[in-house]
RNA sequence: GGGCGGUUAGCUCAGUCGGUCAGAGCGCCUCGCUUACACCGAGGAUGUCGGGGGUUCGAGUCCCUCACCGCCCACCA
């Protein structure tokens, strides 16, 4: 890149090569120390409110994927704009230890080495994990830099570092003391593969074609012996849980079973007499209307069991094999046991029916194992009171969720929330700071070394045993917005940056993470952790499918950066998206984004190379002298003023896809296609005063400068590279990253509706002439004499732009007429007529081409038909009294003018074709 | 079972308060190496805005309903 310290008006290399520029520019940002809120190079205004983004810390488990890239880009866009608005910005990098995710990954790694968690043991396993994490950590942080993320590296945090650990201990201890954390035996979701419990959110209901079996239970007679004649049939999809049955339930109002309620049945194979109970939970029309009750292995049965005071019987072990309570089936895996039991029932003649049954099976989000509901003594968080305050925060507007449609699911989830099981039987994570004494007393302590004695009986710490379990990863993630600021200590950062401004993440972790941060943040700090929750959509493969490594349809963001550049990736990910909606990502988008960057680069190259010699190469940027501008420059500045305002608003509204669309149009369609093309003519017009040429150039520089600023959040490297070569103003810093965001108010001074309308009419004329030439198959490069009829109000503008019109429409020489008579008199046979609004042009005849003539005629006919149709519609509306009476006056007025214009156009076209 | 998205050009998608909104990019067709850019320029074609009702002077836009696709939540064994 251009490395001269002043770097003003330097020439840009022919091509922008990401590989050469990106690393160097990132280094310059780092050296300038602009990322931290108080960095030496930061130009933050301390009197302005800080702008803080809470970033979802990526898991330490591996490389970053395209979803991380989108997250990073959106956040970087916001933080860069805030920085340019001179707000002190805090965007803090972090990593999550992801206990279960990390263990799944590491288990696979060590399995390849012939080791396992069991063979290594807790201590060696954790050493191994630390080594692994040390590596991936560096990879991930390096990748974040490749994205261009302007993170405050001085504040990098990890959910397992000392500060976070202290926050976790403190948070849990407080919750315990407030009776918001409790330990109890309850039915939890057990993953036999991961050998841990998981939260409700980590259980994925998966459709499966199973079987519904009908099984006959024998009632006991008065002597307690099975009655061969009297049976009751129950329907089940899980015959292996028969062994844990404690009752058979029927609906209280079911006449079929009224007589048997209260009698006993014998549980097959284990020969346990259990009662027939009546409970409204039973659906009479499902299966046989009789339901077996297995409280230890089914959540609903558990509830039913407790209602009837029935003790659960656990028949399965942690590995999902049947235990001693399963009698003859002890030791068998759950599915092997199922087959054996079915065979045995069949043999006994008690298997009545087996029919296919579509159902949902809970599977582990991580391992895909079928989740087994099991009874375990574990820690839970009482979520209702916490959720109530989170709901209050969104209802009162303390926190806004965007897009708004997510409020509904938010409300629903937090209203129906159940207590949160936070115990995990894993090794990698924060160990639960609870100690148990031999008498069963519990002592919870936030001290690093644990309690000195049992809280209840005073037994010394040596006799206490710490809970083996660790916390659900999301518990420490839930503390992230404030643990990263030093909580529980009253740090300066905490005072200054809590609550944060924006929490940005994918909608898929709204419950896992956002809800937990809200609940815990409000609880511990009495204030919601952020003003706005902005949820983005998921990045999908071009086919619409979820990207997955096994399917092989992933786009690796780092590969994309290597190949096409970080700016292109960033732009591609954001361009055209809308909040909360998924996007399909493809190569095409990347290429389109790269082309846009290339366009901007070349436009800048042109401008820098077109500097009038009268302006010194190192001249500081000054505003153009308005008295020496042509209409096209006034048009360009006016368009830019509108763009600045629109982009600014879009950014405020989190409409980033809209912002890039506006900038794309302004840069390509307005600045390059017209602005530069018009300006070329003026800049090379030796007949113009030097001051005019200078003003024209400064106008180009001015708008380019504004575009670079607006585009910087999206294309940080490219814009920084160009900016280094452009003239700077007296108040400008060395680096664009800390330059001021364009002020819509200031730009609005340049709005010039008159110039816009006038130049737009001229642009129309040029387009129409080009169109006519194209149809007439006139070679593009060929110059033809032309005549134009110019309405009086446009005469001045036209005169100024005439050289450009001549060049752009290839009408040379060009004669302008203000009188129709003169215009008509100048006509020669065979010439081509062009109509563009009230402007008319004529292209001198070349070699006669009847086919082209016919084509042109056909086109005019089409145009006439169109105009007539629109005219009829407009007149119809105006004739409608209801319309003129009820529509707003402005709309009616608009219809009148458009009708008048259309009428004029129809008349002209008719004259042309028929007259 | 409940809820939420989506359905607009061949493809990917914008479209705010109902009123020049029938749009963009890519692709396609025809020209063109005009001294910023072929990662380009000029021009062109393509639509019952998923179907059906309704509200309104006026509906991709609001309401109802149906269809299909996707997602989230949920204790019919």
Determine phi and psi for A203, rounding to 5 degrees.
-100, 120
- pLDDT tier at A1 (50, 70, 90 boundaries)? very low
Residue (of A497, A427, A475) closest to A165 by Cα position = A475
Is residue A90 pLDDT above 50, yes or no?
A: yes
As a whole number of angstroms, the distance between CA A189 and CA A198 comes to 6
* This model's pTM is above 0.90: yes
State the pLDDT at residue A423: 96
Please give the nucleotide, over all strands, whose C1' is closest to the CA of residue A205.
B74
Determine phi and psi for A33, rounding to 5 degrees.
55, 60
Q: What is the dihedral of CA A371, A372, A377, A378, to 10 degrees?
A: 10
State the pLDDT at residue A106: 93
Query: B75 C1' – A238 CA distance, angstroms?
Result: 15
- pLDDT tier at A612 (50, 70, 90 boundaries)? very high
With H, G, I as helix, E, B as strand and everything else as coil, classify residue A703: helix
Per-residue pLDDT averaged across A165-175, rounded? 98
Determine phi and psi for A223, rounding to 5 degrees.
-90, 0
Per-residue pLDDT averaged across A538-558, rounded? 80
Q: List the beta bridge partners of residue A198.
A: A189
Is residue A125 pLDDT above 80, yes or no?
A: yes
As a whole number of angstroms, the distance between CA A695 and CA A702 comes to 10
Look at A861 and A630; give whichever has higher pLDDT: A630
Please give the nucleotide, over all strands, whose C1' is closest to the CA of residue A507.
B72
Residues 6+ apart with CB under 8 A from A83: A34, A42, A44, A51, A89, A150, A737, A738
Q: What is the dihedral of CA A42, A47, A49, A52, to 10 degrees?
A: 30
Contact A417, A516 (CB under 8 A): no
Token code pair at residue A855: 């084509």
Residue (of A489, A530, A498, A377) closest to A440 by Cα position = A377
- pLDDT tier at A50 (50, 70, 90 boundaries)? very high
Please give the nucleotide, over all strands, whose C1' is closest to the CA of residue A899.
B20
Which residue's alpha carbon is at the shortest distance from the C1' of B2? A412
| A328-337, A642-651, A701-710, A778-787: least confident range | A778-787
Query: B43 C1' – A158 CA distance, angstroms?
Result: 58
DSSP A633-671: HHHHHHHHHHHHHHHHHHHHTT-HHHHHHHHHIIIIIII
Query: B73 C1' – A169 CA distance, angstroms?
Result: 32
Please write the tens of the pLDDT for every residue from A685-743.
988 999 999 999 999 999 999 999 999 999 999 999 999 999 999 999 999 999 999 99
As a whole number of angstroms, the distance between CA A471 and CA A485 comes to 21
Chain B nucleotides reached by a protein CB under 7 Å: 3-6, 12-15, 19-20, 24-26, 30-34, 36-37, 39-44, 56-58, 72-77
State the pLDDT at residue A848: 55
Is residue A3 pLDDT above 70, yes or no?
A: no
Kindly state the percentage of chain A with pLDDT values over 90.
75
Please give the nucleotide, over all strands, whose C1' is closest to the CA of residue A358.
B76
As a whole number of angstroms, the distance between CA A640 and CA A751 comes to 8
Residue A500, H or E segment? strand A500-506
- pLDDT tier at A6 (50, 70, 90 boundaries)? very low
Which residue's alpha carbon is at the shortest distance from the C1' of B23? A661
Please give the nucleotide, over all strands, whose C1' is closest to the CA of residue A655.
B16
| A48-57, A173-182, A905-914: least confident range | A905-914
Contact A2, A723 (CB under 8 A): no
Please write the tens of the pLDDT for every residue from A876-906.
778 888 888 888 887 888 788 878 877 877 8
Is residue A552 pLDDT above 90, yes or no?
A: no
Query: B47 C1' – A865 CA distance, angstroms?
Result: 19
Per-residue pLDDT averaged across A740-755, rounded? 94
Which residue's alpha carbon is at the shortest distance from the C1' of B6? A581
State the pLDDT at residue A9: 54
Token code pair at residue A179: 């009776």
Mean pLDDT, rounded, of chain A:
91
Which residue's alpha carbon is at the shortest distance from the C1' of B57? A883
| A267-281, A448-462, A840-854, A873-887: least confident range | A840-854
Per-residue pLDDT averaged across A179-200, rounded? 94
State the pLDDT at residue A847: 62
Query: B18 C1' – A892 CA distance, angstroms?
Result: 15
Please give the nucleotide, over all strands, whose C1' is closest to the CA of residue A669.
B24
Per-residue pLDDT averaged across A15-29, rounded? 94
State the pLDDT at residue A578: 87
Residue (of A189, A195, A230, A238) closest to A213 by Cα position = A238
What is the crossing angle of helices A566-574 and A117-147, to 10°?
Answer: 90
Please write the tens of the pLDDT for every residue from A286-326.
889 999 999 999 999 999 999 999 999 999 999 999 999 99
Query: B57 C1' – A11 CA distance, angstroms?
Result: 60
As a whole number of angstroms, the distance between CA A751 and CA A58 comes to 45
Please give the nucleotide, over all strands, whose C1' is closest to the CA of residue A294.
B77
Is residue A397 pLDDT above 50, yes or no?
A: yes
Compute chain A's Rg from CA coordinates: 37
Please give the nucleotide, over all strands, whose C1' is closest to the CA of residue A546.
B70
As a whole number of angstroms, the distance between CA A558 and CA A542 comes to 18
Per-residue pLDDT averaged across A5-25, rounded? 79
Look at A304 and A542; give whichever has higher pLDDT: A304
Which residue's alpha carbon is at the shortest distance from the C1' of B69? A544
State the pLDDT at residue A57: 93
Query: B56 C1' – A331 CA distance, angstroms?
Result: 73
A472 DSSP 8-state letter: -
Look at A422 and A883; give whichever has higher pLDDT: A422
| A216-225, A293-302, A308-317, A603-612: least confident range | A216-225
With H, G, I as helix, E, B as strand and everything else as coil, classify residue A51: strand
Please give the nucleotide, over all strands, whose C1' is closest to the CA of residue A241.
B77
Is residue A234 pLDDT above 50, yes or no?
A: yes
Query: B13 C1' – A844 CA distance, angstroms?
Result: 43
Contact A522, A385 (CB under 8 A): no
Which residue's alpha carbon is at the shortest distance from the C1' of B20? A898
- Give the burial class of A743: count Cβ atoms within 10 A of its Cβ; 0-12 exposed, 13-18 middle, 19 or more buried: middle
Query: B61 C1' – A888 CA distance, angstroms?
Result: 18
Tokens 């599915």 belong to A335
Determine phi and psi for A380, rounding to 5 degrees.
-135, 155
As a whole number of angstroms, the distance between CA A818 and CA A820 comes to 7
Query: B60 C1' – A718 CA distance, angstroms?
Result: 37
Query: B67 C1' – A582 CA distance, angstroms?
Result: 23
As a whole number of angstroms, the distance between CA A609 and CA A721 comes to 16
Token code pair at residue A367: 């391992």
Token code pair at residue A157: 């945090």
Contact A168, A471 (CB under 8 A): yes
Query: B48 C1' – A903 CA distance, angstroms?
Result: 28
Query: B35 C1' – A606 CA distance, angstroms?
Result: 11
- pLDDT tier at A5 (50, 70, 90 boundaries)? very low
State the pLDDT at residue A891: 81
As a whole number of angstroms, the distance between CA A165 and CA A123 comes to 18
Please give the nucleotide, over all strands, whose C1' is closest to the CA of residue A649.
B16
Please write the tens of the pLDDT for every residue from A370-390.
999 999 999 999 999 999 999
Length of chain A as a residue count: 915
Which residue's alpha carbon is at the shortest distance from the C1' of B30? A774
State the pLDDT at residue A286: 87
Query: B37 C1' – A575 CA distance, angstroms?
Result: 21
Chain-centre distance of CA A79, in angstroms?
Answer: 15
- pLDDT tier at A405 (50, 70, 90 boundaries)? confident
Query: B59 C1' – A216 CA distance, angstroms?
Result: 62
Please give the nucleotide, over all strands, whose C1' is closest to the CA of residue A870.
B20
The yes/no answer to whether this complex scores an ipTM above 0.90 is: yes
């Amino acid at each position: 890149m251009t490395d001269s310290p002043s770097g003003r008006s330097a020439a840009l290399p022919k091509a922008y090569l990401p590989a050469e520029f990106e690393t160097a520019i990132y280094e310059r940002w780092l050296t300038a120390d602009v990322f931290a809120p108080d960095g030496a190079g930061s130009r933050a205004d301390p009197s302005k409110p800080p702008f803080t983004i809470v970033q979802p810390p990526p898991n330490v488990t591996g490389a970053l994927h395209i979803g991380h890239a989108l997250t990073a880009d959106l956040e970087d866009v916001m933080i860069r704009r805030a920085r340019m608005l001179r707000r002190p910005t805090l965007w803090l990098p972090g990593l999550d230890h992801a206990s279960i995710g990390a263990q799944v990954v590491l288990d696979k790694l060590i399995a390849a080495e012939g080791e396992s968690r069991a063979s290594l043991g807790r201590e060696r396993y954790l050493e191994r994990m630390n080594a692994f994490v040390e590596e991936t950590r560096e990879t991930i942080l390096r990748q974040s830099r490749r994205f261009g993320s302007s993170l405050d590296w001085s504040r990098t945090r990890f959910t397992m570092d000392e500060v976070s650990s202290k926050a976790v201990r403190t948070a849990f201890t407080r919750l315990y003391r407030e009776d918001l954390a409790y330990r109890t035996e309850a039915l939890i979701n057990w993953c036999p593969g991961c050998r841990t419990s998981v939260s409700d959110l980590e259980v994925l209901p998966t459709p499966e074609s199973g079987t519904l079996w009908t099984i006959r239970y024998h009632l006991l007679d008065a002597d307690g012996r099975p009655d061969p004649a009297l049976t009751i049939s129950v329907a089940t999809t899980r015959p292996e849980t028969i062994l844990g049955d404690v009752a058979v339930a029927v609906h209280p109002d079911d006449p079929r079973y009224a007589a048997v309620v209260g009698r006993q049945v014998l549980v097959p194979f284990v020969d346990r007499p259990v009662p027939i109970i009546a409970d409204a939970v039973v659906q009479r029309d499902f299966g046989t209307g009789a339901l077996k009750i297995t409280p230890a292995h089914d959540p609903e049965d558990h509830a039913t069991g407790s209602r009837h005071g029935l003790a659960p019987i656990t028949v399965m072990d942690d590995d999902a094999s049947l235990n001693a309570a399963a009698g003859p089936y002890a030791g068998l895996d759950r599915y092997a046991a199922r087959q054996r039991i079915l065979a045995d029932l069949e043999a006994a003649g008690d298997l009545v029916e087996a029919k296919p049954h579509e159902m949902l099976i809970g599977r582990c989000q991580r391992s895909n194992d079928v989740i087994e509901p099991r009874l375990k003594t574990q820690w839970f968080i009482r979520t209702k009171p916490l959720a109530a305050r989170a709901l209050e925060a969104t209802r009162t507007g303390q926190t806004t969720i965007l897009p708004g449609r997510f409020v509904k699911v938010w409300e629903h989830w937090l209203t129906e929330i159940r207590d949160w099981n936070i115990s995990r039987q894993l090794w990698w994570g924060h160990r639960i700071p609870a100690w148990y004494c031999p008498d069963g007393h519990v002592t919870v302590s936030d001290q690093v070394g644990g309690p000195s004695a049992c809280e209840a009986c005073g037994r010394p710490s040596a006799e206490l045993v710490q809970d083996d379990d660790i916390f659900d990863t999301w518990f420490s993630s839930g503390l992230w917005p404030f643990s990263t600021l030093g909580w529980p200590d009253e740090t300066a950062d905490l005072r200054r940056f809590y609550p944060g401004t924006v929490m940005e993440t994918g909608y898929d972790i709204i419950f896992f993470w956002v809800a937990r941060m809200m609940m815990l943040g409000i609880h511990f700090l009495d204030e919601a952790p952020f003003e706005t929750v902005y949820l983005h959509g998921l990045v999908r493969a071009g086919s619409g499918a979820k990207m997955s490594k096994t399917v092989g349809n992933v786009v690796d963001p780092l590969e994309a950066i290597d190949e096409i550049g970080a700016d292109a990736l960033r732009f591609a990910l954001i361009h055209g998206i809308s909040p909360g909606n998924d996007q399909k990502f493809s190569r095409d988008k990347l290429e389109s984004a790269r082309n846009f960057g290339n366009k901007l680069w070349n436009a800048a190259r042109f401008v820098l190379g077109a500097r009038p010699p009268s302006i010194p190469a190192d001249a500081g940027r000054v505003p153009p002298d308005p008295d020496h501008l042509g209409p096209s420059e006034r048009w360009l500045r006016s368009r830019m003023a509108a763009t600045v305002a629109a982009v600014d608003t879009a950014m405020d509204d989190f409409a980033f896809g809209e912002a890039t669309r506006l900038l794309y149009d302004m840069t390509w369609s307005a600045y390059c296609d017209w602005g530069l093309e018009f300006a070329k003519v003026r800049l090379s017009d030796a007949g113009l005063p030097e001051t005019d040429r200078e003003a024209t150039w400064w106008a180009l520089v001015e708008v380019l400068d504004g575009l670079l600023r607006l585009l910087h959040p999206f294309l940080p490297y490219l814009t920084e590279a160009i900016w280094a070569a452009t003239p700077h103003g007296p108040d400008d810093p060395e680096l664009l990253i800390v330059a001021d965001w364009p002020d819509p108010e200031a730009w609005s001074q340049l709005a010039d509706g008159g110039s816009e309308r006038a130049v737009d009419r001229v642009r129309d004329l040029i387009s129409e002439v080009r169109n006519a030439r194209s149809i007439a198959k006139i070679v593009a490069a060929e110059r033809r004499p032309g005549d134009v009829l110019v309405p009086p109000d446009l005469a001045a503008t036209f005169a100024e732009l005439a050289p450009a019109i001549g060049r752009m429409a290839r009408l040379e020489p060009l004669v302008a007429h203000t009188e129709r008579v003169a215009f008509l008199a100048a006509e020669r046979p065979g010439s081509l007529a062009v109509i563009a609004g009230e402007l008319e042009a004529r292209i001198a005849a070349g070699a006669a081409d009847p086919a082209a003539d016919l084509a042109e005629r056909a086109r005019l006919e089409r145009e006439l038909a169109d105009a007539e149709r629109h005219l009829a519609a407009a007149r119809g509306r105006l004739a409608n009294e209801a319309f003129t009476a009820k529509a707003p006056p402005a709309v009616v007025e608009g219809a009148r003018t458009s009708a008048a214009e259309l009428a004029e156009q129809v008349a002209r076209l008719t004259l042309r074709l028929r007259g």
